[in-house]
């Protein structure tokens, strides 16, 4: 039966890092460029032009700024419902006032002409803005109407986007709570369905998908353990075979979930969505959960050959993150065994060679490494590789316990190579 101790729940319902799901704030910047036009029509940016900002819908102040080398400026913190006017001045230029500006307006083009370098004060700016707002007839001009329509359209778009973000955030918080409750109650089918609901809401979002996928992987893995153990306890071969098949399918799906979680958490920009601590935890949970899924599939011999890339991905991350040499050796051996059981003997030889470097006296590594070498040597009729396989068989026979499950097979094959093929074991360098 499978050991339960390896399944430590990782359900930590932490709200996504600040800003990950947050609705857009209630302010927006305005941006623009200040230029001067020469007689031939050439526009030149005006650096260090002063851009004074005044709320014209109230007596409240707003921030002022100066232009950069390229003549651009940005004024932050303008409330969405505010109307402002800007007074622009620069040495050697005539000042000008741009009224009727709304939050979120960008790329405002301001042109200055040569002049005395004077500055328009707040009172004059407000007078000009009020005169502009009234217009000759007291009604909005066509330009004002167009600006108002554009502003209202932008506000509507932002409002709708905020609504969708808030709904998504609420859904994800709910499925995390409900999924964890179902997991703790042993209702893994419901837990998996809840996590899937959250994943489908935003499948590629680094702020939520890795956490949900990792939790889904845990639920699948725990269900696989329970299913296999129940089949093993039954004592019925048919029931065990059915349980083994079902457990294998769940472990394969778990590996896929962990690998996908790792992929999303590793994508460019993820570090700007999740806090570094949460992102690191996501990756560690993905790697460890994926590694254990690989181990279990090897243990019950239900390796899915279609998940080789996922197995390599999660164990590669695990080896990068884990510093304990013994655990690294076990993970490397699991990957090699996964490839061997999946029939990719060439790749398994490569990975077993790495596993041997980690743990040169591990009987499982020595036995399976020698078998992988022999299998490839037979297929390629490679005498040197066959010799190497015998060398590792001999090393295994000299170190493995007498009751090791592969001793009889390895001893028989080594005897065949010695007697029939007249080969002699050599010391491993």
* Cα–Cα dist 162/23, whole Å: 5
Residue count of the chain, please give it.
Answer: 429
Backbone angles phi, psi at 3, to 5 degrees: -80, 135
The position carrying tokens 């622009």 is 88
The position carrying tokens 């007697």 is 419
Is 304 among the domain residues?
no
Stated as kind and residue range, the H or E segment containing 43 is: strand 43-45
Which CATH number belongs to the domain containing residue 53 in this structure?
2.60.40.10
Is 165 among the domain residues?
no
Contacts of 222 (CB under 8 A, 6+ apart): 7, 183, 188
* Cα–Cα dist 60/239, whole Å: 76
Q: Are the C-beta atoms of 221 and 243 separated by less than 8 Å?
A: no
What pLDDT is stored for residue 18 in this prediction?
28
List the one residue out of 261, 248, 170 whose CA is nearest residue 213: 261
Q: Are the C-beta atoms of 104 and 32 separated by less than 8 Å?
A: no
The range of the structural domain enclosing residue 57 comes to: 27-133
Contacts of 350 (CB under 8 A, 6+ apart): none
Is 402 among the domain residues?
no
Which residues make beta-bridge pairs with 223?
Answer: none
Q: How many CA atoms lie within 13 A of 293 on its CB side?
A: 39
Is 221 among the domain residues?
no
What pLDDT is stored for residue 9 in this prediction?
38
What pLDDT is stored for residue 5 in this prediction?
30
Q: Please report the sign of the dihedral spanned by the C-alpha atoms of residue 392, residue 344, residue 258, residue 278.
A: positive
Q: How many domains does the chain have?
A: 1
Is 76 among the domain residues?
yes
What pLDDT is stored for residue 114 in this prediction?
85
pLDDT along the chain (429 residues), means of 10: 36 31 57 88 92 88 89 89 90 90 86 88 86 62 65 69 79 93 96 96 91 96 95 92 96 97 92 84 94 95 94 95 90 94 91 92 92 93 94 94 93 94 89
What pLDDT is stored for residue 6 in this prediction?
32
CA-based radius of gyration for the chain? 34
Is 68 among the domain residues?
yes
Is 98 among the domain residues?
yes
What pLDDT is stored for residue 143 in this prediction?
65
For 34-67, how does the pLDDT look when each residue is reduced to its tens digit (9 = 90+)?
Answer: 999 887 888 999 999 999 999 988 887 788 899 9
Is 229 among the domain residues?
no
């Amino acid at each position: 039966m499978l050991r339960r101790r390896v399944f430590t729940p990782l359900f930590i319902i932490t709200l996504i890092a600040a800003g990950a799901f947050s609705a857009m704030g209630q302010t927006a910047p305005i941006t623009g460029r200040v230029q001067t036009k020469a007689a031939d029509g050439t526009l030149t940016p005006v650096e260090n032009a002063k851009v004074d900002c005044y709320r014209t819908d109230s007596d409240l102040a707003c921030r002022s700024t100066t232009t950069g080398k390229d003549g651009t400026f940005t004024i932050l913190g303008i409330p969405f419902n505010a109307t402002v006017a800007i007074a622009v001045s620069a040495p050697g230029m005539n000042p000008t006032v741009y009224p009727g500006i709304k939050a979120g307006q960008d790329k405002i083009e301001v042109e200055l002409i040569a002049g005395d370098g004077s500055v328009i004060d707040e009172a004059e700016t407000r007078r000009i803005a009020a005169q502009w707002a009234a217009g000759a007839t007291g009604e909005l001009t066509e330009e004002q109407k167009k600006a108002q329509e554009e502003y209202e359209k932008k506000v509507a778009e932002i409002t709708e986007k905020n609504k969708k973000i808030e709904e998504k955030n609420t859904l994800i918080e709910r499925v995390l709570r409900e999924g964890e409750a179902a997991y703790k109650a042993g209702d893994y089918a419901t837990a998996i369905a809840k996590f899937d609901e959250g994943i489908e809401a935003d499948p590629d979002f680094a702020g939520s998908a890795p956490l949900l996928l990792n939790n889904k992987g845990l639920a699948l893995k725990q269900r696989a353990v329970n299913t296999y153990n129940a089949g093993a306890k039954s004592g019925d071969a048919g029931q065990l075979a059915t349980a083994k098949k079902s457990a294998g399918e769940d472990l394969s799906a778990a590996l896929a979930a962990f690998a996908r979680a790792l992929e999303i958490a590793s994508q460019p920009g993820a570090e700007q969505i999740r806090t570094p601590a949460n992102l690191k935890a996501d990756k560690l949970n993905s790697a460890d959960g994926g590694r254990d899924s690989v181990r279990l599939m090897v243990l019950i011999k239900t390796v899915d050959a279609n998940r080789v890339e996922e197995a390599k991905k999660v164990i590669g991350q695990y080896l990068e993150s884990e510093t304990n040499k013994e655990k690294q050796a076990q993970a490397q051996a699991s990957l090699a065994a996964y490839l061997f059981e999946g029939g990719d003997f060439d790749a398994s030889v490569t990975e077993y060679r790495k596993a041997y470097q980690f743990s040169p006296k591990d009987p499982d590594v020595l036995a399976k490494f020698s078998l992988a070498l022999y299998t490839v040597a037979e297929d390629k009729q490679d005498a040197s590789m066959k010799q190497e396989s015998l060398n590792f068989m001999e090393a295994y026979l000299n170190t493995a316990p007498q009751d090791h499950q592969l001793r009889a097979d390895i001893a028989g094959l080594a005897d065949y190579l010695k007697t029939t093929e007249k080969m002699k074991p050599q010391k491993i360098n």
